[in-house]
Amino acid sequence: MFRFFENLVDPYQTYVQTDAPPRRLWPFLRDYVRPFRAVFAVTALFSVGNAVLDVGLIWYLGRLVDLMSGQSPQAFLASHGAEILVAALVILILRPLVAGGSVGLLHNTILTNFGTMMRWRAHRHVLRQPVGWFESDFAGRIANRIMQAPPAAGEAVFQVFDMAAFAAATFIGALLMLAEADPRLMLPLLAWVIGYLWLMRWTIRRAGPASKASSDARSAVTGRVVDSYTNIHSVKLFAHQDAELDYAREAIETSRRTFQTEMRIVTKMDVALTFLNGLMILGVGGLALWFWVQGTATVGVVAAALALVLRINSMTYWIMWASTNLVQNLGTLAEGMETIAQPVTLTDHPGARPLEFRQGLIQIQGVSHHYGRGFGGLRDVTLTLRPGEKIGVVGRSGAGKSTLVKLMLRFYDSESGAILIDGQNVAEVTQESLRQNIGMVQQDSSLLHRSVRENILYGRPDATEAEMIAAAQKAEAHDFILTLEDPQGRRGYDAHVGERGVKLSGGQRQRVAIARVLLKDAPILILDEATSALDSEAEAAIQAALYGVMQGKTVIAIAHRLSTIAAMDRIVVLEDGQVVEDGTHAELLRRNGLYARFWARQSGGFIGLEEDAAE
C-alpha cells in the first residue's frame, strides 16, 4: 500500500531545464506543481470528504439526541436500529478509508516527493552556476538554502490541503447544518468568521516578512559557522577561536531577535483568537439555548450547536497555527529562491557543439578581462600555442596568470577578444566537452570527501582498476595509499580522505590529484604550481612522470619555481595583465629583462616574490 502512494509521482522525472527560473513565488512553484496536479485534485476531494464526515458526525449526534428524547430504549432500537448500524459502518469503514486515502496522499505522495523533486532540481540548477557565482557566497549558506527551501515548499503544499481544504469544507458544512436547524444560528458564526479572517490576515501580513527575516538570519548563522569549520586550521593556527565565537554570536543574536519578533506576532494572535473563540461559543451556544427556552429549538439542536462550536474552537488554533506555519514556510522558500532561482549567467550558446579536438592549436586573440572592475586580470593578450607545444607562464602576483587559465576553461567569459582551440571559439562549444579535453593540476588541489579510489577515478570513471593503480604509481602515490586507514576501518584505496582531503598531508593530497589528472589523460594539460606541495625527492620523480605524460600534449605550466619550467619550449612573462616577454629560457636570460631578474633573484628555484594570490 505504501509503495502505491510513494510511486504515484517520480521526483526524478525528466523536465525542461531553464537558465532563468521565475523570480516570483507562484510562477516559480508552478513548474514544480505540474507533475502533482492530478494528485492535488484527488487530495482536495479526500480533504473535503474528511471534513464532511466530521460535520456529519456532529449533525448525527444532534439527531440521536432528538430521536432518543421521549422514547423507551426498546422502542428507539426497534425503529432506528438499522440506521445506527449504517452509522456504525460509516464510522468504522468509510471514515478510516477516506482518512487513510487523505493521509496516504499527503504523507506518502506529496510530503516525500514534492520536497525531494524540488531539492533535486535546485541542486541541478545550482551545479550549473559558473565558478564565479560560488566564489561570491558562503558554501554553507548555499547548501542551507538548498536543504531548507524544498521541504518548506512541501510543508506549504501539505498545509494547503490539510488545513485550507479541510477548514473551508468544515466551515461551510457548519453553516449549512446551523441553517437547517435555525438560520438565525448562522449569524454569530458568520460574524466570527469575519473576525477570524481579519485576524488571520493581520497575522499573515506580519508573519510573512518576519519569517523571511528569520530565515535569512538562520542562513547567515549557518554560513558563518560552516566558514569557521571549513577553515578550522586557520582558526587554530592564528588562535582566533574567541574572534570566531564573536563573529558567530553576532549572527546568532540577530537570528534570536528576528525569531523574537516572529514569536511576538504568534503570541498576540493566540490571545486575540482565544477571546474571539469565546465570543463564538457564547454567541452560537447561547443563542441555541435561548431558542430552546423559547421552544423553537430541540435539545438535539442545542447539543449539535454546542458540539460544533467546541469542535471549531479546538480546530481554529490548529488552523491559525497552520496558516502561520504556511506563511513561514513560504517565507523560507522565498529566502531560498534568492539562491535556487538565480539565473545561470554562463551558459552554452544556442546550437553549441562539442569541441572537436584535432591537434591542440590554441590561439588567444586580444583577450581582456577585468572581472567587471576595470582593472586587474588581462589586457589585450595575444598568444599562440602550437600543437604539442609546452609553455611556461611566470609573473608577479596579480599579473593575470590565473585569469588566463580560468578564461581557457571558460569559468568566465572574456570581456573582449577570443580564445580558440583548433579554430573553435571556447565560448561557442559546450562547456562539458571543453573541460573534458583539458586536464589541470592546481597548487592547492582539494579532494572530495570520498574514498581514494573515487577521487582518482573522478578523472575517468570508466577506467579499470589496473589503469587507476598505474596512474597512482606514476604519481608516486600507490605506496602511501596502501598504508591508509580511516576511522571506519577502510583501508588503502577504500579509505576516505576527509573533507577537501584534510586527512592527507599536502604532498599526499597533491599526488592523488596528479594521479587523477594522469588518469584523465586529456590532450591539453594545465599545471598551476603542480608540484609545489611536494618535497624535492617526490617532486623530481613526479616531474619526470609529468614530462612523460606531456608528450604529444599542448601544455601550459604556471610556476614560481623557475627551474621547473626552464626546459619548456617557450616561457611567457606576464606583467600587469600583458605579455611583456616571450621566448626560450636561454633567450630570455640573454635579453636581461624581467625574466632574467626573476632568475637572478630566485632562491632555491623560486622567483623570490610573494606567493600567487587570487587574480
Domain boundaries, the chain: 21-340
Beta bridge partners of 381: 367
Classify 539 as helix, strand or coil. Answer: helix
Set of cell numbers at residue 414: 572574456
User: Other C-beta atoms within 10 Å of 205: how many?
Assistant: 12
Identify whether the C-beta of residue 305 lies closer than 8 Å to the C-beta of residue 284.
yes
Q: Tell me the pLDDT band of 535, cut-offs 50, 70 and 90.
A: low
Crossing angle (nearest 10°) for helices 286-293 and 299-340: 160
Nearest alpha-carbon partner for 461 in 453, 469, 449: 453
In angstroms, the CA 520 to CA 526 distance is 13
Q: Across all residues in the chain, what is the average pLDDT? A: 84
Give the pairing of strands 570-575 and 578-583.
antiparallel
> How much is the average pLDDT of 269-278?
86
State the amino acid at position 566 in one-letter form.
A
Reduce the DSSP state of residue 503 to 3 states and report it. coil
Q: Determine the residue type at 88.
A: A
Residue among 23, 31, 25, 215 nearest 121 (CA): 31
Query: Per-residue pLDDT for 614 more than 50?
Result: no
Overall pTM surpassing 0.75 (yes/no): no
CA 495/CA 108 separation, integer angstroms? 37
The C-alpha cell at 360 is: 591542440
Q: In the block, which residue shows the cell 571506519?
A: 488
Residue 611 has pLDDT above 60, yes or no: no
CB 494 within 8 Å of CB 451: yes
Question: Mean pLDDT across the stretch 95-102?
Answer: 90
CB neighbour class for 7 (10 Å; exposed up to 12, middle 13-18, buried from 19): exposed
Half-sphere exposure of 344 (CA within 13 A, CB side): 18
pLDDT in tens, 465-491: 999 999 999 888 899 999 998 888 899
Give the separation between CA 392 and CA 383, rounded to whole angstroms.
Answer: 12
Spatial distance between the Cα atoms of 320 and 343, rounded to a whole number of angstroms? 36
Q: How far, in Å, CA of 507 to CA of 480, rounded?
A: 11
- How far, in Å, CA of 116 to CA of 99, rounded? 24
* Banded model confidence at residue 502, pLDDT cuts 50, 70, 90: confident
Q: What is the largest CA-CA distance in the chain?
A: 123
Beta bridge partners of 12: none
CB 522 within 8 Å of CB 433: no
DSSP assignment, residue 439?
E
Query: What is the rounded CA–CA span in Å between residue 291 and residue 425?
Result: 87
Q: For residues 514 and 508, what is the distance between their CA atoms, to the nearest angstrom?
A: 10
**Residue the block writes with cell 510562477:** 27
Taking the CA of residue 177 as centre, how many other CA atoms within 13 Å lie in the half-sphere pointing to its CB? Answer: 32
The confidence score (pLDDT) of residue 430 equals: 94
CATH, domain range 21-340: 1.20.1560.10
The upper half-sphere exposure of residue 599, i.e. CA atoms within 13 Å in the direction of its Cβ, equals: 18
Query: What are the tens digits of pLDDT across the range 549-593?
Result: 788 889 999 887 787 788 889 999 999 999 999 999 999 999 999
Residue 583 pLDDT = 93
DSSP-assigned letter for residue 365? E
* Listed ranges 291-305, 423-437, 525-539; the one with the highest mean pLDDT: 423-437
The region of weakest confidence among 30-34, 97-101, 185-189, 323-327 is 323-327
The one-letter code for the residue type at 324 is T
Burial class (CB in 10 A: 0-12, 13-18, 19+), 602: middle
The residue-averaged pLDDT of 56-81 equals: 80
Q: And the C-alpha cell for 507?
A: 604532498
Helix axis angle, 112-127 relative to 299-340, nearest 10°? 10
pLDDT tens readout for residues 100-131: 998 899 889 988 899 889 889 989 898 888 88
Q: Report the range of poorest mean pLDDT among 157-171, 259-273, 378-392, 531-545.
A: 531-545
C-alpha cell at 247: 563573529
Backbone angles phi, psi at 128, to 5 degrees: -85, -10
Q: What pLDDT is stored for residue 456 in this prediction? A: 94
- Find which of 238-247, 448-457, 530-539 is predicted with most confidence, using mean pLDDT: 448-457
SS3 147: helix
Look at residue 355 in the predicted model and tell me its pLDDT.
94
The 10s digit of each residue's pLDDT in 325-351 is 777 777 778 878 888 888 988 889 888
Model confidence at 97, in pLDDT bands (50, 70, 90)? Answer: very high
How many angstroms separate the CA atoms of 404 and 410, rounded?
10
Task: Tell me the H-state helices in 521-568.
Answer: 536-550
pLDDT at 613 over 70: no
Residue range 133-159: average pLDDT?
A: 80
**Averaged pLDDT for residues 45-55:** 84
Reported as a pLDDT band with limits 50, 70 and 90, residue 610 is very low
DSSP 394: E
Burial classification of residue 68, based on how many CB atoms lie within 10 Å of its CB (0-12 exposed, 13-18 middle, 19 or more buried) = middle
Do the Cβ atoms of 426 and 408 come closer than 8 Å? yes
pLDDT band at 384 (very low <50, low <70, confident <90, very high): very high
